[in-house]
Structure 1
């Protein structure tokens, strides 16, 4: 392993670190209080890989325990957002010797701005600490709890933030090197292609995939919501028209006859048919009792009209009173005919 790393590093300027107090590019950059790493590269990378794996596996284990229905796909997303939280102590990083400080000093060989308190790096890392980090943990919480709506909202925000930050990160390096001839990365294969390009590639690929996933899910949800709204709107309009037609259909002629006290020939023929059918029924009450009950019903309907006053209820009540009047009249006529026949 160490021989392979020496091969990757050997393509650069080996005398750079001897001519300068630090190994970073550009060569004239000032790194105050720089102290070389005391751990070897395999130890630094091994410690970082072990700590990262322990953090991700522990988070997935907790997520699986809390939410037993958590899929392995969601567990992978969970581990990704757990990894997306960084704290950078830029002022004393060059002089520290703990394992994480030495890791950042090793990575800074691909971008020396991490060692010089560069304003851009301070802004982007502060935004990471204050915004993307907490939102990443909120996304982790939403995934564990199965809160799909919250998860895709925060997942979209964090993914867009990562893509925007990486675009600025690569863009500033590109324009500095293209137009000013300033390179922040050492030219060796390990530092430029593995550290600078390779280690930042996941923050382009994974957020793009997650953004597509969330956009698709949100789009499908809104499409279903619009269909439900359109169905509710159609059903409400249909039910409204159906209720009004059910109230007035078949009764319009009867209500007009009651209000205008005149009937057409067709209504007379219909009334006679109804009278013949109802004349076959047995008498249910005395005409005097029926008159009193009719008066009580009229007073009740009048109170109801005064309290409610709804057109549908009024139409129904008028029709019922009119039908009762006609039934009483037919009953009296039937009794007179019966009495005449007996005499």
Structure 2
């Protein structure tokens, strides 16, 4: 029995390793190309030389000037990596929410999480000031996202809204309330600072630094692995509450747990990137068209495609009107709006 199954296991393992290698190469190439483009174009070979020199000093000799090296290492590479982390997080959360709510139009902004993040960031930018230094806006945004999630769960508990549809409606209602409060803060704030607020609300990665990358990675890695480990349960939830309950799953508790994990991922991504929509809506649908409905493949596929998509969107935002940066939310909004209309027509 062992001899007959070993070749079969190897036969299944090698294609998966090969696919993983191909996807890794695609991701690395996407990062390299995105770093090389911008108001000041940098050859792709220079990007590789600078990165290798920083990671393995003395391994290779290069003639890249100090200015270009600084642009590559200090400005563009942290920004591109942050775009990848944010895209991966939003795509992953979108796939999980669409399964746990059985709503094909669900995305990470569904439950008011982004609205809470916007409220916290606006409060810091217009009223409280940078009392915690450069991390004030990210921390305030993250705190606002967690408070918004707690509000959604609290209202849902008081109203007895434990079903998927009623939880979604609760999130939409809380989102409107929080955004109304955020608009009041904008109205009462200093008009000279509204440009910064507007750029943040439309999404932007221009303030990315190496020190900022630790926080998204520290949240995305454990939470993403936990969601991936729940792939079988998410598959059961996508079949309906009754089917999931018949399989021994505590539907209400599991759904709330997924929402909390999704809030943690979305909150930290919004805190460092601003409001970026439609990534969590588009990517899971595109991945399901390729790999099917099994969340064991959909979740990592959505994370990968979200990362590559947002890296490309950020590169386009930097070159479309160079030397000015277009808010990345404009790029994803245009793409996502067209995709949303296509999804609606497809469902019809």
What TM-score range do you get, normalising by the shorter chain?
under 0.3
Task: Name whichever structure is richer in helix by fraction.
Answer: 2
Q: Rg bigger for which structure?
A: 1
Q: Higher RCO, 1 or 2 (CA under 8 Å, sep at least 6)?
A: 2
TM-score (norm. length: structure 2): 0.22
TM-score (norm. length: structure 1): 0.22
